[in-house]
A and B are shown apart, each in its own frame.
Chain A
């Protein structure tokens, strides 16, 4: 393939994840992949298709419905030199394994005085839309970000999905790797070769001078849409793709807020006691004198996700909410049409190509 084609090769987010795993397994025999349904015909939303055929059932395997024990198994195998990738089709399923993730894997290196390492990657999917409801759509990344000893990664682009997953697999610590269901189908330039995106570095997705919008995961897309609308109204937003929660890139956030004086945090999780609270605290502590307006947070309300689209349509904030929040910081009212939903657009699917059910 000539260089020009390599430079512009487009992959979908799910294909980028698949490729990262494939390339890591090809170059390192200690890497293996397991999870409920990994060899399924649908291949965990396409992220594991063909891998069992290529690497065999010894390295790419289905598991019993025992998330807690299998997280322990991943930890134990890592202690003796393997590098497992464990998948959960929903973050909600991983909650069954909180004890192993938080009490054991996260603390093993510390509580044994640095004598052992747990190089595991646990991939989880954050669900949304099509009536996923209260137990198939939680975005509890703040729970994991709260735990010392874990790395917590949330890529928002296919390029980062591959680069961050490779870095995560090569990291010697337990990494919680969170994929948003509504990002699986987006396309981006993804290089063919092995490359790494370092953990702990945020990315400035769009430069601006009037307001900083820090976004996690899928909310990056809504933040960029809001930035476009704001630009048409004369306000330039600087959009930061957080992409890694632990370690957190304080420096990039603070540098931006010191420049713009205003911050909106757009998070896929709950507003209460979550990521947006942590970032607002950071900015209040370290850039208080640079703030020209109170911080704004765009996140989920303080109750579980309802199932009916009539309810979930109102539950999830979108670009319009971010835009309105920024306009409010400048004492401006949004146009009445800002919250209009184009005819034929359904808010409980990422795009019209998604027709259910999972």
Chain B
């Protein structure tokens, strides 16, 4: 995976999320959105280690994972706009993204709930003797759920081809980590104690994320079982919505600015320009291409029709109607 590809993947996510943030106040995207601005390196670096036949799953903050796994942008934006052309036909919105062609099996917003489902996908792949690895993304809050421990335990017992990616951004909505978990204990340490090889790292270093993810994927493919990553990172905007909320009291502008200075995209830019791996022109070209793609996808979403009301009672059950 070239540096340029990693950079492009991160910038793609950043520009999509910023576009959503710009349009959100128009009140036409009528569902909750949980943007991942600031956290792009985890999505881009980890998913770059997966192949098209591999699986990924996520939670409410899934736009970056969906896109980095190869999910269709038009279908994602249309879904957020509640259109018939959305990836879930307008039934799910931002919190229920799916793209089976890209191996993105689904994202649902009950924290922790897709962890066992992803473990099941890995279990099923193993039972079918298929060469597939599954990756599941979640945050620090998920590491407090019971189902987190149950899922990791099962993956360890069965040595499943699954990679657990925890994005620790230190907040669960407005609750800081220190009111939820003991300060002298790490999430990776918990996973390690359950019996899974666990690695902690700087989630804003896309090359690091990609390197360790690729090693974990290779290990899983070879039948050596699961790996757990705890990547530290930071979300720039509010938990849910398009605005900044560093002034309402649960965190400080100073903390945000310190993390902004660690912007994964800016760091990668500086690294590539500094080492001569890319020119500013090349980076600008990438940005221009992405802008064009995103503009067209936004237009597609906004111009797409809404689903017919009759579809409201469709697809309750598969096969025969209930």
Contacts and interface: CB of A to CB of B under 8 A. Distances in A.
Interface in B27-51: none
Given A103-B113, A110-B316, A171-B319, A66 B153 contact: yes
Interface stretch (A11-19, A111-119, A209-217, A235-243): A111-119
B315 interface: yes
Interface in B111-167: 113-125, 127-128, 132, 146-147, 150-151, 153-154, 157
Contacts of A32: 127
Contacts of B173: none
B317 interface: yes
B316 A109 contact: yes
B154 A69 contact: yes
Interface in B279-315: 314-315
A112 B106 CA distance: 8
Contacts of B154: 63-64, 66, 69-70, 73
Contact size class for B? 35 or more
B222 interface: no
B317 A149 contact: yes
Nearest to A69: B150
A113 B121 contact: no
A93 to B, nearest CB: 14
B89 A73 contact: no
Contacts of B118: 76
Contact of B318 (A72, A75, A99, A172): A172
A260 interface: no
Contacts of B319: 171-173
B124 A110 contact: no
Contact of B151 (A69, A79, A99): A69
Interface string A61-104: 00110101111111111111110000000000000000110011
Nearest to B108: A104
A162 to B, nearest CB: 21
Given A113-B92, A116-B106, A76 B318 contact: no
B105 A110 contact: no
Contacts, number: 159
A73 B105 contact: no
B261 interface: no
Contacts of A172: 318-319
B322 interface: yes
B98 interface: yes
A250 to B, nearest CB: 12
Contact of B120 (A30, A73, A109): A73
A44 B153 CA distance: 24
B91 interface: yes
A78 B315 contact: no
A148 interface: yes
Interface in B76-100: 86-92, 96, 98, 100
A171 B110 CA distance: 26
A297 interface: no
A153 to B, nearest CB: 13
B55 interface: yes
B315 A110 contact: yes
Contacts of A151: 317
B88 A112 contact: yes
B98 A100 contact: no
A46 interface: no
Given A76-B123, A81-B124, A104 B100 contact: no
Nearest to B117: A76
A246 to B, nearest CB: 7
A109 B157 CA distance: 30
Contact of B147 (A69, A76, A115): A69
Contacts of B113: 72, 99-100, 103-104
A69 B92 contact: no
Contacts of B96: 111-112
Given A81-B128, A82-B128, A111-B96, A72 B91 contact: no
Nearest to A117: B318
B116 A69 contact: yes
B315 A77 contact: no
Given A69-B151, A72-B115, A115-B100, A103 B110 contact: yes
B55 A148 contact: no
Contacts of B317: 109, 148-149, 151, 173
Interface string A26-59: 0000101000000000000000000000000011
A103 B119 contact: no
Contact of B123 (A77, A113, A171, A200): A77
Given A76-B116, A99-B113, A116 B153 contact: no
Given A72-B119, A112-B106, A246-B322, A82 B124 contact: yes
A113 B150 contact: no
Contacts of A76: 105, 116-124
Interface in A286-304: none
Nearest to A34: B123
A112 B147 contact: no
A116 B315 contact: no
A185 interface: no
A59 B123 CA distance: 11
A133 to B, nearest CB: 24
A151 B319 CA distance: 12
Contacts of A71: 116
16 contacts: A64-B153, A64-B157, A73-B120, A73-B151, A78-B120, A79-B120, A80-B105, A80-B121, A80-B124, A100-B147, A112-B91, A112-B106, A113-B86, A119-B318, A149-B316, A172-B319
Interface of B: 55, 86-92, 96, 98, 100, 105-106, 108, 110, 113-125, 127-128, 132, 146-147, 150-151, 153-154, 157, 314-319, 322
Given A69-B119, A79-B121, A114-B89, 5 more contacts: A69-B154, A72-B115, A99-B110, A99-B147, A113-B90
Closest 8 CB pairs of A and B: A76-B120, A72-B116, A113-B89, A69-B150, A114-B315, A77-B124, A66-B150, A73-B120
